[in-house]
């Protein structure tokens, strides 16, 4: 599958859909609290996206039954919203992808329900920092492997966490998933060369224990094989002439 290099008009469409995806996370944040179901969160996000003349990309994508992904505690990714109430001490990743004017914007964030112990806060913090270390590697002429190397060196080599290799970031634009594949473990100077006009996601999934996952019988939900916690954060990135632009950036979100 070829890498899509965007024109100026296409980049503006990518900015618009990515801003919308980011705004969904801002909208849903105050609703993430104990007692709410992930099905309720799904419905709220679904309605918000439709009200903004867009489409929730996950709905019916290869059979996925809901409009967002909600991944709680040991769920690595692709958690399906259901009648499961959030509890104090839960952590949850909410993954949003919008289609606006034919273009996709993709982003996710971690939310904490109530109070959590320091080791959980650390896992989320390291995950967020690893994402940004990967983002800082983006520039024309750099390689996809530079991104994965930065993430792995920080999350695994420095902090001892499992960096999931079964899932990766991906090119995005008129299609949900395209080239390049952006692994979160890589070798510097290796992999596809980055070119101005490319857009892709970086979305490290960092586990407290083993990097390995298993898929539940619903054929979607991935959980840690040792049932330890997992965290994920994601942005859609544009390669610019002199570096990068975080298309899904939010004013109040973590950055570095």
Q: For residue range 153-162, what is the model confidence (pLDDT) as tens digits?
A: 999 999 999 9
Classify burial at 30, counting beta carbons within 10 Å of its beta carbon; exposed 0-12, middle 13-18, buried 19 or more. Answer: exposed
Q: Is 158 helix (H, G, I), strand (E, B) or coil?
A: helix
Structural domains in the chain plus CATH codes:
8-246 (3.90.230.10)
Give the helix ranges, DSSP H, for 2-153.
8-28, 38-51, 118-135, 144-152
CA 129, 132, 137, 139: dihedral to nearest 10 degrees? -170
CA distance from start to end of the chain = 33
Give the number of other Cβ atoms within 10 Å of residue 21's Cβ: 30
Residue 162: enclosing H or E segment and its boundaries?
A: strand 162-163
Q: What is the pLDDT of residue 256?
A: 65
Residue count of the chain = 256
Contact 97, 106 (CB under 8 A): yes
Q: Helix/strand/coil (H, E, C) string of 193-242?
A: ECCCCCEEEECCEEECCCCCEEECCCCCCEEECCCCCEEECEEEEEECCC
Q: What is the pLDDT of residue 64?
A: 98
Q: What is the pLDDT of residue 115?
A: 96
- Taking alpha carbons only, the member of 29, 28, 33 closest to residue 45 is 28
Classify burial at 182, counting beta carbons within 10 Å of its beta carbon; exposed 0-12, middle 13-18, buried 19 or more. Answer: buried
Please check the confidence at residue 97 and state whether its pLDDT lies above 70. Answer: yes
The CA-atom distances, in angstroms, between 58 and each of 62, 156, 180 are 8, 30, 20
Q: For residue range 209-231, what is the model confidence (pLDDT) as tens digits?
A: 999 999 999 999 999 999 999 99
pLDDT level of residue 251 (50, 70, 90 thresholds) = confident
Q: What is the pLDDT of residue 1?
A: 66
Please check the confidence at residue 2 and state whether its pLDDT lies above 90. Answer: no
Q: Residue 71: beta bridge partners?
A: 93
Tokens 């904490």: give the residue.
Answer: 112
């Amino acid at each position: 599958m070829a890498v899509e290099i965007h024109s100026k008009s296409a980049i503006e469409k990518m900015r618009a859909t990515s801003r919308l995806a980011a705004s969904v996370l801002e909208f849903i944040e105050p609703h993430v609290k104990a007692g709410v179901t992930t099905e309720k969160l799904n419905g709220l996000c679904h309605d918000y996206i439709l009200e903004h003349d867009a489409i929730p990309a996950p709905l019916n994508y290869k059979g996925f039954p809901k409009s967002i992904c909600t991944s709680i505690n040991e769920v690595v990714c692709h958690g399906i919203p259901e009648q499961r109430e959030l509890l104090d001490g839960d952590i949850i990743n909410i993954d949003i992808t919008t289609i606006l004017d034919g273009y996709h914007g993709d982003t996710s964030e971690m939310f904490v329900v109530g109070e959590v112990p320091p080791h959980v806060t650390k896992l989320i913090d390291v995950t967020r920092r690893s994402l940004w270390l990967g983002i800082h590697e983006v520039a024309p002429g750099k390689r996809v492997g530079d991104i994965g190397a930065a993430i792995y060196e920080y999350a695994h080599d420095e902090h001892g966490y499992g960096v999931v290799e079964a899932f990766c970031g991906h090119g995005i634009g008129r299609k949900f998933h395209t080239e390049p594949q952006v692994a979160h473990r890589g070798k510097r100077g290796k992999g596809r060369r980055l070119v101005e006009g490319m857009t892709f996601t970086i979305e490290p999934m960092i586990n407290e224990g083993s990097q390995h996952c298993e898929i539940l019988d619903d054929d979607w939900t991935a959980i840690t094989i040792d049932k330890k916690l997992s965290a994920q954060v994601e942005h859609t990135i544009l390669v610019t002439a002199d570096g990068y632009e975080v298309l899904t950036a939010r004013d109040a979100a973590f950055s570095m």
